Chain A
């Protein structure tokens, strides 16, 4: 079964440092997403990406965040200057079509900012 893979599974970083979370979506998928879940809270949408540009983003996705598809297989989320409140599980997802009923998620990357 095809799967979305994410790295690292867990990262600890100091406040103010830059972090890059990596994702390899399923190979024939065209739409990519990032979600996050702060411990004990809801899974929140951050951004969706299609055709090498952002197609939707939430108010959480401010200037400290950016996404990129640098090489046709990886899909990255960069947090420029991490804050304590960025500590969360970050989920990458992909789908074949826009709003396709089946959105495939990775297992998540835990980010802990200290």
Chain B
């Protein structure tokens, strides 16, 4: 079956630090991969996605590259801001189902 494993949080960083949140997956077929973000008091929002191997998704300074050889989709940002404090969810959707499978989420706390 499909599954997503994310690094445990919280991840605590100072402003302008480099961010990596690890995500690995298990899937049948060739999945599409997603990162969602949940800001305090809001719903999950799609942050970025990649639909095939070696694709790089990017948005708001965040990037993630679909690595088929390591079954990974790590989220990175070169310089985080306090406003990036949120919970980040890695997710996948495989060809056999239109229902996304999520990880448990990783909380990011950025201090000024």
Interface residues of A (CB under 8 A from B): 3-4, 6, 33, 35, 37, 40-45, 48, 56, 91, 93, 98-99, 101-108
Query: Which applies to chain B's interface (DSSP): helix, strand, loop or mixed?
Result: strand
A-B contact pairs, 18 of them (CB 8 A): A37-B104, A37-B105, A43-B89, A43-B102, A44-B102, A45-B100, A48-B99, A56-B97, A91-B43, A98-B98, A99-B93, A101-B46, A102-B46, A104-B43, A105-B44, A105-B45, A107-B41, A107-B43
Known: A48-B99, A98-B98, A99-B98. A41 touches B104 (CB 8 A): yes
The reply to whether A105 and B104 contact each other, CB–CB distance below 8 Å, is no
Of A4, A43, A105, which is within 8 A of B105 by CB?
Answer: A43
Known: A33-B99, A56-B99. A3 touches B43 (CB 8 A): yes
Nearest chain A CB to B27 CB, angstrom units: 15
